[in-house]
Amino acid sequence: MAAPAGANSDLVQLSDADLIGRAAAGEARALEVLYDRYSRVVFSFALRIVGNRELAEELLQEAFFRAWQQGAAFQSSRGSFVTWLLSITHNLAIDEVRKLRRRPQKADSEDPAALLDSMPDNAEDIEETVWLGALRETIRRAMEQLPPPQRQAIEMAYFSGLTQREIADALGEPLGTIKTRMRLGFQKLREALEGSEVEVG
Amino acid sequence: MSDHPAQQRAGTNQSSQHAANSPSVDGHIDDLVAPYVLGALDEATTRGVETHIAHCPICQRFVNEARQTASFLPFLATPAIPRSEVKTNLFARIAQAETTRNAPQPTEYATPNFPLGDPAPVAGQLRVGPWQSVRRRLHVPLHLGRVSERVSRRPAYAATFSAVPLLVALTVVGMWAMSLHGQLHDAEDQVQVLDARVNTMNNLVAENTQSFYEYQLTGGPAAPQAGGKIYADPDQPIATLMVWNLERTTNQPYQIFVEQNGRLVPVGQLTVDSSGKGTATIRLNGSLAQYRSIHIKAESTTSTSTNAVDLFANPSSNDALSTEIDARVGNMSDTTAP
């Protein structure tokens, strides 16, 4: 059912904001272009949070479906489309992971090798890859500047959906310590990113 | 802390008002900004922050800046590639949603006199929670009613589709699903019917954006993992409840109460199936908005160990699910904020 390459050639040069606007007006092909651009980013992010491919794929679908439904609510003045889409993804994934945490789990260990078993879809990924690669490098380097405990506090919060109290309990640390680590770490992260030229979206 | 950035900018008058409306001790939410954008605050504090920034442009700016920082974090994830089936399924789902949306409405929905039958058998207790939960950012001026967050486009029949037929439709779907429920013995089928029912309900809700309340139901101490929704028109005497992840009771159904004038009034029962899901339709004496809250409890108020007054005094002590009905307009105006 995927359209042949070149089917959306009239749309691929449009900005994210234009595309989501068209999608909000009912143009599914516009969403398709956005999907081709960002499905991997969304998927990778969801997978990092939930740790399960099947679930991550469901979340990927749900995130784009919601973007489709709520496209009219997106305001480019408030930030980029990617940021908006990824925040939808984050909310969905964290909800899921918190739900899972409350229920006893079946064993479903993730095979790391399986993460790399698919081939790229089409050539227009190359351009996206350059921008994405720069973005990944930027945040990776910035995070490396944080002392490990601060980095850990931020990652546990953002990717595991744990509250400060839950992090404190998990690590056996006082709540105040975790609060300080998170605050200082975030401050440092912000400073490290301030000089960067790359922007999200 | 005289060199505190917020204090410098705010000045004395603003600063004291700032303090009065802030969830933190010294009146500033600066310490809460980072955990807030990271999602590391508990629900109550999160709501406190959102309430504060809704009318504090200074802190709103801090939050926006912090969001910029946090927006880089997703790119730490190792790149991975989804299967192409996801795209296929997504666009099939979109095509179907569009077809459903554009299809003419069944005529029986337009008739307010559609026979409802007796809704009593499955009514549930749900404490109706603050309907502006963290992610449900809905508000519409009160006289226009409330809008489901799911829909961004006006449905084709918006002008003629009033809330009553919608509630009837939901009740019909609820009743239909419950009658099917009784006939199904296979657990698998039950789950599918219930899932289909949820989707139907969701689609119905999605297509009708007019005067319609959707409340989130939160699991209480007795059932923290449970969740649900309640769909109601606050001006109509009917509400439809759907719950999931609720443990099945062996002896008797869950009891639904509404809180009015400091008392808990029973309005029906909720039966939960083996997959932890249940639906109930309850009839009220008047609109839902007159009640402060709805509660679902495993115990009956007629049992000798409890009575209505005691339950009110400890409203959350044995709740399976709860939520408070908030008749005020929610102050969440931002539908896109992460």
Question: Per the CB < 8 Å rule, is A43 touching B82?
Answer: yes
- In this complex, is the C-beta atom of A164 within 8 Å of any C-beta atom belonging to chain B? yes
d(CA B164, CA B252): 32
Q: Read off the pLDDT of residues B114-157 as tens digits, 9 standing for 90 and up.
A: 344 444 433 333 433 443 333 333 333 333 333 343 434 444 44
Asked if the Cβ–Cβ distance from B91 to A32 is below 8 Å, we say yes
More confident residue, A127 or B61: B61
Question: So what's the ipTM on this one?
Answer: 0.88
For residue A158, the tally of other CB atoms under 10 A from its CB is 21
Task: Return d(Cα A164, Cα B35) in angstroms, integer.
Answer: 8
The answer for B 257-296 residues in CB contact with A (under 8 A) is none
Burial class for B72, CB neighbours closer than 10 Å (0-12, 13-18, 19+): buried
Nearest CB partner across the interface for A57, out of B79, B82, B149: B82
Task: Report pLDDT digits (tens) over B44-66.
Answer: 999 999 999 998 989 999 999 99
Residue whose pair of structure tokens reads 């419950």 in the numeric block: B178
- pLDDT over 80 (residue A123): no
Q: Do B86 and A103 touch (CB under 8 A)?
A: no
Cβ–Cβ below 8 Å for B39 and A190: no
Weakest mean pLDDT among A89-93, A173-177, B97-101, B164-168: B164-168
Encode A1-16: b = buried (16+ Cβ within 10 Å), e = exposed.
eeeeeeebeebeebeb
Residues 67-96 of A with CB under 8 A from B: 68-75, 78-80, 83-84, 86-91, 94-95
Residue with tokens 């991997």: A40
- Among A28, A40, A189, whose Cβ lies nearest the Cβ of B91? A28
Q: Which of B92, B151, B245 shows the shortest C-beta gap to A69?
A: B151
Output the CA–CA distances (angstroms, integers) from residue A45 to A164, A199, B11, B80, B210, in the order listed.
21, 17, 42, 9, 35
Tell me if B38 and A90 make a contact (CB, 8 A cut-off): no
The answer to whether B82 contacts A39, with C-beta atoms less than 8 Å apart, is yes
